Amino acid sequence: MKFPRSGLYAITQTENKSCAQVLAEVALALQGGAVVIQYRDKNPLDAKFLASELLALCHRYDVPLIINDDIELAASIGADGVHLGKHDGDIAQAKQRLGKNAIIGVSCYNDVALAIDAEKQGVTYVAFGRFFPSSSKPLAAPAQISTLEQAKTLLQIPIVAIGGILPENGGQLLNAGADLLAVIGGVFSDDVEKSARAYQALF
């Protein structure tokens, strides 16, 4: 499964939700045009079951499923890839475990040098953020719009922006150099499909 060059990158919102509810919401996000789904779950009840179901659902829409933080879970279900934060194992380990075709994304926060190094190590994409106040990551250090502008001139791989992104403010991140917008709360709110379409319209 190839990683897309642009579009809405939706990240699951699992807090206090059943597996069935998460799956139903992700299906609506896919119907609304999400081009990547990331399974992020800080308190999983049955991660392997839910991740496997999400993978099957994503593949029905020809969309890749990325697993947040967990190389072993990604390997065990045959996910399309993994997203690594600062303390989630290294790029070489992920490649070895998941195979050379796996999608590997890395959080680079507000650090272009980190992104350049990750690109040299062969990652698929890098993510910067948070750009705006975010309820899912309230303590995350802020990133500057200028970081995107700088990264765009130096990187060949897709750039993902994350953190408090709404349809109203996403355009400025795309104009600055982001290729994809990663969103949790803004998509998985009242009307998931309609919200996804509002983001997808920015592209």
Structure token digits, residue 197: 């379409």
Q: Cis (ω within 30 of 0) for the bond into 40? A: no
Band of the pLDDT at 133, cuts 50, 70, 90? Answer: confident
Q: Looking at residue 66, what is its pLDDT?
A: 98
**Could you read off the pLDDT of 92-106 as tens digits, one per residue?**
999 999 999 999 999
**Could you read off the pLDDT of 4-50 as tens digits, one per residue?**
999 999 999 999 999 999 999 999 999 999 999 999 998 888 999 99
Tally Cβ neighbours within 10 Å of residue 60. 10
Q: Looking at residue 189, what is its pLDDT?
A: 84
Q: Provide the β-strand partners of residue 159.
A: 126
Q: Where would I find the beta strands (DSSP E) of the chain?
A: 7-11, 36-39, 65-68, 81-84, 103-109, 125-129, 159-162, 180-183
Question: ∠ at Cα 26 (54, 21), nearest 5°?
Answer: 90
Q: How far apart are CA 132 and CA 161, in angstroms?
A: 10
Helices 145-154 and 112-120 sit at what angle, rounded to 10 degrees?
A: 30
Residue 128 pLDDT > 80: yes
**Could you read off the pLDDT of 145-164 as tens digits, one per residue?**
999 999 999 999 999 999 99
Residue 74 pLDDT > 90: yes
Q: Looking at residue 88, what is its pLDDT?
A: 65
Q: Looking at residue 135, what is its pLDDT?
A: 74
Sign of CA dihedral 47, 52, 55, 57: negative
Instruction: Please report the domains of the chain, with CATH numbers, ordered by start residue.
Output: 7-200 (3.20.20.70)
Question: ∠ at Cα 65 (36, 71), nearest 5°?
Answer: 130
> Where do the H-state alpha helices sit in 32-136?
47-60, 71-77, 91-98, 112-120
